[in-house]
Structure 1
């Protein structure tokens, strides 16, 4: 996939902001990506991997519905991450529709800063998503280790998230679970947004309450019906957390966290400069009509903001911007950037469980 937008521009133009002409050229590229997304959405993918050639190495992470496992291809010596979901847990948590959506979305999306799927299948007890292995680990791990990110690194990461959300929204996808735990860092230092369990195709508004408490938007909490605005609110929370080392809204109980979010009450650290304070204030805006990302100028409010001054958006898109931080990866299957977990055997049942619920999978 070519990431070139064909935009006639100079580095001076890019450093001083993003012109409307550049954005018009970029929209043509986004339209091309959307057309490709729609084509993949409507057809069954061809798998290039035989599951019998994959060997389990270790667990990379665990979650409410299962775990993520590192796999090695015995013949090609390539490495993959396999998300294993238990059918029973999906049923109990009433997440069947979300799981089916996640499968189709992962099969269809292709963007530099999102993961995509190589292969999916099911057995009597489990559902399996196989994706490329991203060896740099979670942003969450690096953020906790560093305490907070230096501003150039936060700006580098934020620019990729802006572009990723712009792509997802252009393809009518609302993500709904943006947080450091769902952002991976590749071997070159660039980002990959992962875990599309709450992502869905959106036409108009939706009312489902889902996401992570500290990152939920006010309109989502208040059950008002919402659209893409919730992702930009979550981006504001991420922006704050990357630069502060902690989220803007936090309490010991979720209900108290929700109260703070709905009131829009938070305090910026003294280390935040005026430009950072301004972009956070305009993104963590309770009034949707005044929130960056969803106003008349859309994503241009971010691309032309003073805090992003110096960022060359085209260079970021094409992964040509020198990363301020590159994780240590000694070899393609190096998993030392991921935490250690107890290994558990996967034992499929002797009969097909929940066959009708997962018939369309």
Structure 2
């Protein structure tokens, strides 16, 4: 490969990582270089990485030997992650990451570990600096310089002291459970912005405390109950008691259904499981409702009518004129068990559109005249008019939603409340079936 080395983006104990460009294709990649005479670790990484292909492990691009500035270098080519590492993300955030991000990153690391462990490979050095952040805010495991195969003959241990498991610190073994302990330490690092064991000053003290005390890294207090439980499963001092990668992937903390998603405003919220999800409809139009309720104390019926007026004025309705409620030719009676007097009362209540006045009593101002404050008649009039308003709004909004694939989740709540109240008072109700308001029509009218 004919390539040109760019700026340095990372350094290790024996190697340097730089940005590089393919002179023919213009592709950008990362190159990890070490002087040839001490490149054994880099060659081992190349032998392992060249056999792997996983979306959660950094991709292998090739290798070569070059002579630069009088030095012979062994170069390992890998995919480039422009967002850097998890440590870089923590620094950009100004401290610990939010839990939704920690949750997502943790699952990505687990998926990478599942692939490595499934292929008989122990990473041996999981930590924030060895986890790359991709353009789509995913993560990939990188730096397999310490990695080894579990069926290999090597009995040595390696890694970063602060992330070592107790059995590794004692020099006993370094198997799959060691990666799980290191993952727990990395989760703490992501949540707090600091490496585990922050009160330990030097590597030797860390190894002694980790290996020969009964201590475990301190679990942060400002994380969820699920996150704390996840960490306890990772940070068991006995390696045989630690959960495996497969078990951890099923844990509630990293369960896919619990992931937060970005809303239209970019904020994160839990994925709703239904259009009537309480979190979803509780959050809708919250500001407008609070502004209305903060003006004056009001009765439920009046507040409801005010809310319906806001829905009518919503941009989804496009300021359509109310239909002629007095015309019965477009109405179909779907249930009628009442007397003629009851139906006559419903017909007689079909008066002009009400206008809400500033009085927060139960009365309505209709065609410039105020109805009686009699509680029963006020409730009947309000229920009848509210049902008609809601039917019109529902039909019009659903027509619009058929085209735009959007849904206002507050409507079912309003409909259920209003129609329930209306049905308790009257034994007959009608449904608008005019083609213009037929929301089942596959070709809805504007």
TM-score interval, normalised by the smaller of the two chains: 0.5 to 0.7
For 1:163, the equivalent position in structure 2 comes to 111
For 2:82, the equivalent position in structure 1 comes to 135
Residue deviations 1:251-305, cap 9 Å, x none? 1111221233233333223212222111111211101121111xxxxx3321222
Matches within 5 A, 1:256-335: 256-262=205-211, 263-293=214-244, 299-311=245-257
Q: Distance in 2 between matches of 1:207 and 1:240?
A: 29
What runs of 5+ residues in structure 1 fail to find an aligned partner? Answer: 1-49, 91-95, 294-298, 314-321, 325-361
Deviation at 1:246, TM superposition (A): 1.7
**8 Å contact kept, 2:83–2:133:** yes
For 1:207, the equivalent position in structure 2 comes to 155
Residue deviations 1:102-131, cap 9 Å, x none? 111121110001112211112462101112
Q: Distance in 2 between matches of 1:206 and 1:286?
A: 23
Instruction: Select which of 48, 59, 75 maps to 1:105.
Output: 48
**8 Å contact kept, 2:106–2:254:** no
Residue deviations 1:43-70, cap 9 Å, x none? xxxxxxx22xx12221111222121121
Deviation at 1:201, TM superposition (A): 1.6
**Number of residues of Structure 1 aligned to a counterpart in Structure 2:** 255
- Asked whether 1:74 is paired with 2:23, we answer yes
Normalising by structure 1, we get a TM-score of 0.66
**8 Å contact kept, 2:177–2:240:** no
**8 Å contact kept, 1:136–1:184:** yes
**8 Å contact kept, 1:206–1:225:** no
- Which structure has the larger Rg? 2
**8 Å contact kept, 2:64–2:75:** yes
**SS of match in other structure, 1:130:** strand
Q: Distance in 2 between matches of 1:231 and 1:307?
A: 18
**8 Å contact kept, 1:154–1:239:** yes
- Asked whether 1:197 is paired with 2:145, we answer yes
Residue deviations 1:168-189, cap 9 Å, x none? 0000111001111111111121
Q: Distance in 2 between matches of 1:148 and 1:323?
A: 18
What runs of 5+ residues in structure 2 fail to find an aligned partner? Answer: 260-265, 269-446
For 2:178, the equivalent position in structure 1 comes to 230
**SS of match in other structure, 1:56:** strand
**8 Å contact kept, 2:197–2:218:** no
Q: Distance in 1 between matches of 2:223 and 2:80?
A: 35
Q: Distance in 2 between matches of 1:143 and 1:302?
A: 24
**8 Å contact kept, 1:189–1:323:** no
Higher alpha-carbon deviation: 277-286 or 55-64: 55-64
Structure-2 change in CA distance of 1:222 and 1:305 (3 Å): same
Q: Distance in 2 between matches of 1:62 and 1:172?
A: 28
Matches within 5 A, 1:234-245: 234-245=182-193
**SS of match in other structure, 1:108:** coil
What RMSD in Å do the two structures reach over aligned CA positions? 2.4
Q: Distance in 2 between matches of 1:99 and 1:209?
A: 17
Normalising by structure 2, we get a TM-score of 0.54
